[in-house]
Amino acid sequence: MSKLVTIYGGSGFVGRYIARRMAKDGWRVRVAVRRPNEAIFVKPYGVVGQVEPILCNIRDDASVRAAMHGADAVVNCVGILAESGKNTFEAVQAEGAERVARLAAEAGIQTLVHISAIGADAEGESDYQRTKAEGESAILKHMPGAVILRPSIVFGPEDEFFNRFAGMTRLGPILPVVGAESKFQPVYVDDVAKAACMAVTGKAAAGIYELGGPDVNTFRELMQQMLQVIRRRRLIVNIPFFAASILGGLSDFANTISGGLIPAMITRDQVKNLRNDNVVSDGAKTFADLGIKPVALEAVLPDYLWRFRPSGQYAGIKESAKNLRV
């Protein structure tokens, strides 16, 4: 019988790519999510019955234990960018990660892969950074042979970064950003999935890997590149950190009193994160240690941002028509 991997958060942005790759490699894949009825789209990643979404809440011991029953390997992709209700940074990224590792160790599972993030820092200014570091520490405490992957900002068709800002360009001539000079090293989602699958199959040594793409860009440069792809001209305006902190506080307050009905445009914790560069550290293990050559941003961005062009899928046809001679 083929081996079984449980992927917590396997229907999320990164998780679905890992699930697809593991199924392609012949593994049975159990996708553990809070809303399995919304994760049915993962089933066609394999043959009938090979990929199955199941109910799991990472805040609950019994739920997490049941999801990994009989598994040969476990992958934890669960993470949040903003808190919502009971899904706080502490509950999800620190306690949740600890729960997965502790129960995996109790079950005798030898292989655990955890998706963290560049910037995880126990002394970090933001709750996001601190809880990411707490989760990593807890995992290594229970399973010192685990593989931890720290990607920079992840891009791909379903990302919440380029898609979000490309959508904002439809609203007016100005594109506001916070931390325009902060540096990022965008990494393609399928490259992260490839690294995770190498770890699951024993082709990656234990330890922490920082995953970044081939290029380092400032936030402003990334927005300029995006604007070129979607063929729109917008004025990129940097919002000072002090003003962004006030805006984040107001957004947090509106989100809280509305019970989450009013989504936060940006949170104060996200503003704190944007004060720091998000690039691979000197001396860290990287894609090079895995033998993976990361895909460049310009090779993928046009494949999914075309829909934000003024003429959408017809942009290429209209441009070609301009070259016709009557």
Q: Which of 293, 296, 312 is nearest to 304 (CA)?
A: 312
Would 190 be classed as within a structural domain? yes
* Length, in residues, of the chain: 326
Q: Identify the band that residue 262 occupies on the pLDDT scale cut at 50, 70 and 90.
A: confident
Give the pLDDT score at 131.
97
Residue 232 has pLDDT above 70, yes or no: yes
Degrees (nearest 5) of the Cα angle 45, 49, 51? 40
* 147 located within any domain: yes
Q: Which amino acid is at 183?
A: K
DSSP state of 46: S
What percentage of the chain has pLDDT greater than the value 90?
A: 87
Residue 245 lies in a domain: no
> Between 318 and 231, whose confidence is greater?
231
> What pLDDT digit, counting tens, does each position of 78-120 carry?
999 988 888 999 999 999 999 999 999 999 999 999 999 999 9
- The stretch 304-319 carries a mean pLDDT of 80
Cα–Cα nearest to 216, from 155, 152, 263, 171? 152
Range of 49's domain? 4-156+185-213+279-294
pLDDT higher than threshold 70 for residue 233: yes
Mean pLDDT computed over 206-210: 97
Measured distance CA(130)–CA(133) in Å, rounded: 5
Looking at the domain assignment, is residue 110 inside a domain? yes
State the average pLDDT over residues 3-12.
Answer: 97
48 has a pLDDT exceeding 90: yes
Question: Is pLDDT above 90 for 317?
Answer: no
CA distance 289 to 115: 17
Asked, for residue 89, whether it belongs to a domain, the answer is yes
Q: Check if the beta carbon of residue 118 is closer than 8 Å to that of residue 280.
A: yes
Instruction: Give the torsion sign (CA, 236, 211, 51, 108).
Output: negative
Mean pLDDT of the chain: 94
DSSP 122-158: TT-SSHHHHHHHHHHHHHHHH-TT-EEEEESSEESTT
Q: What is the CA radius of gyration of the chain?
A: 20
What is the percent of the chain where pLDDT is above 70?
Answer: 96
CA angle 210, 212, 214 (to 5 degrees): 140
Quick: pLDDT tens for 127-184: 999 999 999 999 999 999 999 999 999 999 999 999 999 999 999 999 999 999 999 9
Q: What is the pLDDT of residue 312?
A: 73
Residue 320 has pLDDT above 70, yes or no: no
275 residue type, one letter: R
HSE on the CB side for 134, CA within 13 Å? 19
Number of separate domains in the chain: 1
The angle that helices 127-142 and 96-106 make with each other, rounded to 10 degrees, is: 10
In a domain, 273, yes or no: no
List the CATH number of the domain containing 56.
3.40.50.720
pLDDT at position 228, please? 97
pLDDT at 271: 95
Element (H, E) at 176: strand 174-178
CB under 8 Å to 86, separation ≥6 — which residues? 59
Q: Is 115 left (phi over 0), alpha (psi -120 to 50) or beta?
A: beta
The answer to whether position 44 is within a domain reads yes
* The pLDDT of residue 319: 66
Sequence-separated (6 or more) residues with CB below 8 Å from residue 275: 125, 179, 182, 241
Residue 315 — very low, low, confident or very high, per pLDDT cuts 50/70/90?
A: low
Give the per-residue pLDDT at 257: 86
Structural domain contains residue 286: yes
Question: Strand, helix or coil at 317?
Answer: helix
